[in-house]
Amino acid sequence: MAESVPAPLRLVESFLNSVDVESGADDLVDVPTFRRWLADHGHPAPARDTDLDLARRLRTELRAEAATHHGVDTDRDRTELDRIAAGIPLAATFGPDGARPAPAGTGVVGTLGEILAAVTLASHDGTWRRLKICPADDCRWVYYDTSRNSSRRWCSMRVCGNRNKTRTYRQRATTA
Ligand SMILES: [Zn+2]
């Protein structure tokens, strides 16, 4: 699944999926687990409680944002997300194609800045809207929608889509 995610969004996808609703596993459950997640993703940092708190708040808000990519709740209140983003410094960095946002902080704030910079760029090239969250309550997995018209609803038709279809079929069968 992760292979389909464009390279600039891989860290974002991984960050958003650092909680697995189905199994209850959470890489941001405590500081040691979070430090392991950072190291595993090539961003080792001596994370503290405040870093963990910031990361958790950002993840919650970005997951809520990914949920709007199905076309629902697009006018949701983004005050909290803006407040969190304001505490994560970004800079403009120049290259042959012009300028792009880049993290200006260090440690965990730098890593979260890398995530925000990637989301900013992806918001402009249209790929951010393709990062969606599975609407199944017991799944909520973040996936990248590669369908031509960007209409994929479930994380995986093989698992969630079929599971949901079976459920609908059973409900219909019961009502009939
Ligand atoms: Zn799913």
Q: How remote is the CA of residue 78 from the centroid of ligand 1, in Å?
A: 25
In this predicted structure, the answer to whether residue 147 has a pLDDT above a threshold of 60 is yes
Could you tell me the CATH number of the domain that includes residue 162?
1.10.3300.10
CA proximity to 20, closest of 165, 155, 166: 155
CA distance 66 to 100: 22
Segment 47-69, tens digit of pLDDT: 999 999 999 999 999 999 999 99
pLDDT band at residue 176 under the 50/70/90 scheme: low
- Determine the structural domain holding residue 145 and report its residue range: 2-175
Segment 93-129, tens digit of pLDDT: 999 999 999 999 999 999 999 999 999 999 999 999 9
Q: What spatial distance separates the first Cα and last Cα of the chain, rounded to whole Å?
A: 37
Number of domains in the chain: 1
Q: What pLDDT does residue 173 have?
A: 63
Question: Span 151-174, mean pLDDT?
Answer: 72
Q: Which of 7-11, 84-88, 160-164 has the lowest mean pLDDT?
A: 160-164
pLDDT band at residue 1 under the 50/70/90 scheme: very low
The protein residues having their C-beta less than 5 angstroms from ligand 1 (an ion) are: 134, 136, 139, 141, 155, 160
Q: How remote is the CA of residue 76 from the centroid of ligand 1, in Å?
A: 23
Q: How remote is the CA of residue 108 from the centroid of ligand 1, in Å?
A: 29
Can you spell out the DSSP letters for the chain? -GGGS-GGGHHHHHHHTSB-TTT--BTTSSHHHHHHHHHHTT------HHHHHHHHHHHHHHHHHHHGGGSSSTT---HHHHHHHHTS-EEEEEETTEEEEEE-S-HHHHHHHHHHHHHHHHHHHT-GGGEEE---TTT--EEE--STTS---SS-IIIIIHHHHHHHHHHHHHH-
Q: How remote is the CA of residue 153 from the centroid of ligand 1, in Å?
A: 9
